[in-house]
Structure 1
Amino acid sequence: MIYELRVYEVHPGKMKALLDRFENHTIALFAKHGMRITQFWEDLDEKNNRLYYVVEHDSLDIRNLNYERFRNDPEWLALKQVTEENGPLVQAQVSYFMKDAFLTP
């Protein structure tokens, strides 16, 4: 199992729209494509305007395949277009990949 910490720099004034999109659509679409969100946080300092979440993947190869399927899913493409009619919600995204430090190989 690998864990992906995704950090989004959210455009000012767009956090609620992004959280709504996750809650009402994106989390289910991730599940449809085999991705499990295990943790979800908003930065305590609202000035940072960051969203953090952890996604579990069986392997890096499976992660890449699942994200490719997600990014090309017509439902996602339509949702993204509708929810970003007034501009993008996210200005930058960084991923950190982790493994459990206490599991034996």
Structure 2
Amino acid sequence: MVYELRIYTIYKGRMDAIQNRFNEHTLKIFARLGMKVVNFWIDATGQNKLYYVMEFQDMAQRQRLWEQFKKDSEWIQVKRDSEENGGLIVEKIEEYFMNQAEFFKD
């Protein structure tokens, strides 16, 4: 398995917009496309950041699914609609790829 940690820096005043977009649309699109979100966090220190981890069989699957997501007509419309009146939501996306340590068992 490959795990992807995604860290989103959100524009000031747009935290509600990103949370609504994930809650109402994005997570459902991920599920429809077979993209698995392991967990999701909102920054506890007041920074305008969201964190989430996704699980993939390998990097090839990750690449294929993200490409499908970016081209998905529902996603394109949701993104357009959510940014129409308030402007851009996500300022920066960081991506980190991880393999679970063999010595750790949950």
Q: Please give the range of the TM-score, normalised by the shorter of the 2 chains.
A: over 0.9
Cα deviation digits, residues 33-83 of structure 1 (max 9, x gap): 22111111011111x211000011111111000000000000000000000
Q: Which residue of 1 aligns with 2:89?
A: 89
Letter of the 2:72 counterpart: D
- Matched residue, 2:98: 98
Structure 1: segments with no counterpart, 5+ residues: none
Identity between Structure 1 and Structure 2 (%) = 40
Quote the residue 1:39 is aligned against: 39
SS in 2 for 1:87: coil
Matches within 5 A, 1:15-26: 15-26=15-26
Q: Which one-letter code corresponds to 1:45 in the other structure?
A: T
Letter in 2 for 1:27: L
TM-score by length of 2: 0.92
Q: Secondary structure at the residue paired with 1:75?
A: helix
Moved over 2 A (4+): none
- RMSD of aligned C-alpha atoms? 1.0
Q: 1:55, 1:83 → 2: CA distance?
A: 23
2:34 partner letter: G
**Equivalenced residues, count:** 102
Asked whether the 8 Å contact 1:33–1:67 carries over to 2, the reply is no
Give the partner amino acid of 2:73.
P
Q: Distance in 2 between matches of 1:21 and 1:43?
A: 17
| Gap regions ≥5 residues in structure 2 | none
CA distance in 1, matches of 2:3, 2:19: 21
